Structure 1
Amino acid sequence: MRSLSSQLHLDHSSTDLSILLNCLAVACKDIASRLQQGAMAGVLGSAGEENVQGETQKKLDVIANDILKDYLQDSGVVRALASEEEEDIVECSKLGNYLVSFDPLDGSSNIDINSMVGTIFSIYETTAGGDISSQDFLQPGRNQVAAGYVLYGPSVMLVLTTGNGVKMYTLDQRIGEFMLTQEQVSIAADTKEFAINMSNQRHWAEPMQRYIGDLLAGQDGPRGKNFNMRWVAAMVADVHRILCRGGLFTYPWDQREPEKPGKLRLMYEANPMGMLIEQAGGKAYTDQGPILDIQPSHIHQRVPVILGAANEVDACLGYHLAP
């Protein structure tokens, strides 16, 4: 098995990108060690404050955010960063060539029940030599040079793309290194498994209501086959399942907040996961078009998400396009 550093060298990644990816890996090892200590380290529970999204922060949301900021600011290759937990961007090194967006701890509501959570990141190049602002981050997902996540589960896994397929690495706790354990991840085009938060069904648009209704009708319904539903309530875990064994994940638009077209953040969740899914042969869409083609309007923009097995994504979109 090859280490992350060795594989990046074989992939001919630039020196600065290799430095950045290794820096993210080290930061996530630090986060993993805090998670493993749990209640013994006093890191569980609420921090008693809300983030820019209006959500109650967990203590580990804040800790993970600070860890990533510290490592990225010290890397020397990052021009600026944007975090789901920060209202505005954070400047790093004026000599840095990269912009990094991240969700420091996706699924943090699962922390206190010892369930899976993860760190999601997205990397862009920048040509900004002088002042930098949030406008520099507003690039379509197609511009990403790398994207990935670290899943903190029974094993700690790094899932990464640099634009040439998806690779999975597992943290070898004995030597403290991420080792390559799957070289080319591929998502089957067809599936019988889907992930969605069914408690929101009454709020969905009518096409999504019909689509899920037909899945639930099973073999006797119009789809003619039985489907299983899985839901972890952490995007990073639900997407990891799709990359491992296929399926479809969707967090659709609902009518409760028309001014917010979706739940998930474009920059911190949808774009990096969309790149991973496409690189593994799947599709990543909103109900309007490909996620990676969206021109962002602000760094905390939200979008609906439909991603996973290519043929099943097409089937779902067909309900939205039907007259």
Structure 2
Amino acid sequence: MTIDRLTLRKFLLQEKEKHGLDQDMMLLLEDIATSCRIIAHQIRNGPFLDILGAAETENVQGETQKQLDVIANDIFLSHCSNCARVAALVSEEIDEVIWLKDRPRKGDYLVYFDPLDGSSNLNVNLSVGSIFSVVELEEDLSELSNEAVLIRGSEQICAGYSLYGPSTSLVFSTGQGVNGFTHKIGSGEFLLTFPDMKLPAETGEFAINASRFRSWNAPVRRYVEECIDGEDGVRGKTFNMRWTASMVAEIHRILMRGGVFLYPRDAANAHMGGKLRLLYEANPMGFIIEQAGGRASTGWERILDVQPTGHHQRISVIMGCRDEVELIERYHDEAGD
């Protein structure tokens, strides 16, 4: 049986009619979808093109780049520059903000992106993804600087990600809930396959990198130990633990079936503020999680309320089903940590 599914274009047109979605945002989202489709093609053909290995470069964080990190970044830069409203691009892979306009105006867009999250998974054929976020300027800018893009996540007007797995998913929100699309191979189209994605309040699953156990602070260790204790512990039920080393894959699984994702600030990364980046990882994923009815926190405060201090700033990240995140926040509060 063939199901008649909305194309991305038809969905965006409906959002324009129902919620006043701006036409320039429609065009930008279509450019982002094109970027993701091209990146997915490059990943599928990576072994034949010999582009799965490391590049001879490092990104601004001092991490060795994969060849596909660089390729994905170039693809995003090329296509996101098409929209006349885009004033600046902020990428994980580039040190400085890329300004496309000499005199950005009120209403112009700032686009933040991690072009290829989880690229260490490429050589073992596991899921990777791309993350993006859009903020609209509230006033004209008289000076171009890195500081001009330091805007709270609560000001995002759109955020999303693409997951490159057995199929290519595109999930995003423009502030009216979360919707997921799947690329239909051979057609070039993204079709609506997961409308109005919602998180349950409770869950029996969590995702954390257990190799960092010795570095965790007391509240995180307490939470994980209680989950592991299962039915015999204070939680009174069995929890499953997952870890795929790709934030996109973790968050997508949580959106599909519930859970909580933790990459907290710990003793080993506290000098950096955490591991994940605020502007182009934590903020967009936090926006998506909240739009799906979940909660996104540092352990101490809502992620989207954090005032950025740098465009490559790192932060503690705990997000997913609301009840679990609130419990972890309570443990932080009780510990005074």
What TM-score comes out, normalization by structure 2 length? 0.93
Match of 2:28 in 1: 20
Taking the aligned partners of 1:196 and 1:227, their CA distance within structure 2 comes to 12
| Larger mean Cα displacement after TM superposition, 144-153 or 257-266 | 257-266
2:10 is aligned, of 6, 9, 23, to 6
Match of 2:79 in 1: 71
Aligned residue for 1:74, secondary structure, equals coil
Q: Which amino acid aligns with 2:99?
A: E
Match of 2:113 in 1: 102
Q: Do residues 143 (structure 1) and 155 (structure 2) align?
A: yes
Q: Do residues 216 (structure 1) and 220 (structure 2) align?
A: no
Q: Do residues 278 (structure 1) and 290 (structure 2) align?
A: yes
Aligned residue for 2:132, secondary structure, equals strand
1:168 is aligned, of 180, 187, 192, to 180
Deviation at 1:74, TM superposition (A): 2.9
Q: Which amino acid aligns with 1:11?
A: E
Taking the aligned partners of 1:293 and 1:129, their CA distance within structure 2 comes to 22
| Larger mean Cα displacement after TM superposition, 91-100 or 80-89 | 91-100
Q: Do residues 309 (structure 1) and 321 (structure 2) align?
A: yes
Deviation at 1:129, TM superposition (A): 4.9
Match of 2:61 in 1: 53
1:115 is aligned, of 126, 135, 138, to 126
Match of 1:198 in 2: 210
What per-residue deviation string (whole Å, max 9, x for no partner) do you get for residues 253-282 of structure 1?
111243212100000100000000000000
Checking the alignment, whether the CA contact within 8 Å between 1:77 and 1:93 is kept in structure 2 is no
Taking the aligned partners of 1:74 and 1:197, their CA distance within structure 2 comes to 38
Taking the aligned partners of 1:145 and 1:163, their CA distance within structure 2 comes to 6
| Larger mean Cα displacement after TM superposition, 130-139 or 307-316 | 130-139
Taking the aligned partners of 1:75 and 1:318, their CA distance within structure 2 comes to 43
Gaps of at least 5 residues in structure 1 are: none
Q: Which amino acid aligns with 1:133?
A: S
Taking the aligned partners of 2:269 and 2:322, their CA distance within structure 1 comes to 29
Q: Which amino acid aligns with 2:116?
A: L
Checking the alignment, whether the CA contact within 8 Å between 2:112 and 2:280 is kept in structure 1 is yes
| Larger mean Cα displacement after TM superposition, 86-95 or 172-181 | 86-95
Match of 2:50 in 1: 42
Deviation at 1:92, TM superposition (A): 1.8
Deviation at 1:130, TM superposition (A): 4.5
Checking the alignment, whether the CA contact within 8 Å between 1:106 and 1:235 is kept in structure 2 is yes
Taking the aligned partners of 1:132 and 1:156, their CA distance within structure 2 comes to 36
> Identity across aligned pairs (percent)?
47
Taking the aligned partners of 1:86 and 1:169, their CA distance within structure 2 comes to 29
| Larger mean Cα displacement after TM superposition, 121-130 or 179-188 | 121-130
Checking the alignment, whether the CA contact within 8 Å between 1:16 and 1:77 is kept in structure 2 is yes
Deviation at 1:21, TM superposition (A): 0.6
What TM-score comes out, normalization by structure 1 length? 0.97
Superposed counterparts of 1:254-293, under 5 Å: 254-293=266-305
Gaps of at least 5 residues in structure 2 are: none
Q: Do residues 231 (structure 1) and 235 (structure 2) align?
A: no
What per-residue deviation string (whole Å, max 9, x for no partner) do you get for residues 16-73 of structure 1?
1111111111111111110110110121100022110111100000000011111122
Checking the alignment, whether the CA contact within 8 Å between 2:179 and 2:195 is kept in structure 1 is yes
Checking the alignment, whether the CA contact within 8 Å between 1:76 and 1:93 is kept in structure 2 is no
Taking the aligned partners of 1:132 and 1:179, their CA distance within structure 2 comes to 38
Q: Which amino acid aligns with 1:49?
A: T
Taking the aligned partners of 2:256 and 2:270, their CA distance within structure 1 comes to 34
Aligned residue for 1:259, secondary structure, equals helix
| Larger mean Cα displacement after TM superposition, 115-124 or 48-57 | 48-57
Q: Which amino acid aligns with 2:57?
A: E
Deviation at 1:135, TM superposition (A): 1.8
Deviation at 1:223, TM superposition (A): 1.1
Taking the aligned partners of 2:318 and 2:31, their CA distance within structure 1 comes to 31
Taking the aligned partners of 2:83 and 2:149, their CA distance within structure 1 comes to 19
Match of 1:90 in 2: 98
Superposition RMSD in Å: 1.2
Match of 1:186 in 2: 198
Aligned residue for 2:243, secondary structure, equals coil
What per-residue deviation string (whole Å, max 9, x for no partner) do you get for residues 73-119 of structure 1?
23322111000001011112457811000000000000111110000
